[in-house]
Structure 1
């Protein structure tokens, strides 16, 4: 992968985090009313239309951007990474890939519309839960691997998001929990994107033993 491609993936990673945060903005902030009944055909361009049509697309693009950013990080540093960074990176990519697949299912699917839609939505929930678990564990080890390199900030960010995310969800009001959860992810994506863009060359070999 050329340095130009690495820089492009850095931009994509940062944009992915930004789009994910945008998609998580509470609907009331951009004028979605609290309705007692379901509106089947909200007006084009209305806040309710944005919430139902635009924001799901934005969330899908956001998760895809995160996936490509992590792929760029893994590809850039593969040659100089030890076993810990390589394998945890691959597993993290598998977990994030699962979320990339399930996000459209959950964003555009619906429980109860038809039997097929319900089954598909349930599959999305289960696969999404497994993907989150796999990604969480892998990020801890990937962060540990990067902490032991010459640029430990990447490690602190990758591992820290696993700790910070549930904390901000716990302290945030229920109406803002999703948006609060998106913020540490967006920050981590920005740090990764910045590193990929400004330092597209492979990360210097780690500090420590060969099992890094």
Structure 2
């Protein structure tokens, strides 16, 4: 049981409810985060899919952008799906220069790389560290990872179809990102992986993160 873990979901735009439900099914205490005070009360954060520019704009408007960056730099575990992957990237291609990401993962991400909403698709993705059959991944206006730096670990690639070989899951230390939406599938394995990552970070790491200590 992981009820001693409090995991926030950035609740500004996107698939907030679905992530809260998936985390609860993984026996974590899940809470929406809209204010800096709510961010202070969580051990980890999920940045959901949605529209990355809108999420960035609202994070600035709600006074959350810099606090989230500080927590990331301080070691708070964060999982970003789709738009969340974009916001965790060190470099974003085809993004707005006046809306930089939170950063944290040494990767170059291409925004909307798989096309527009009408180009949404589903494909199998094998993920290192997650047992069982390939994950049935849902891609909606999804990014892909063009390149990763030496500190980042590629966890998953599309295994078939026109997008075969594209990097769509990456981890760097306490940070996890996927280009797809596991919250829409009913398959809890990605969320379970993240909950375990948070659990292994330990309370000491959480306190350091809250204090902004790297």
User: Shorter-chain TM-score category?
Assistant: under 0.3
- Higher RCO structure (Cα 8 Å, ≥6 apart): 1
The structure with the greater share of residues assigned to helix is: 1
Structure of greater Rg: 1
| Higher strand proportion | 2
| TM-score, with length taken from structure 2 | 0.26
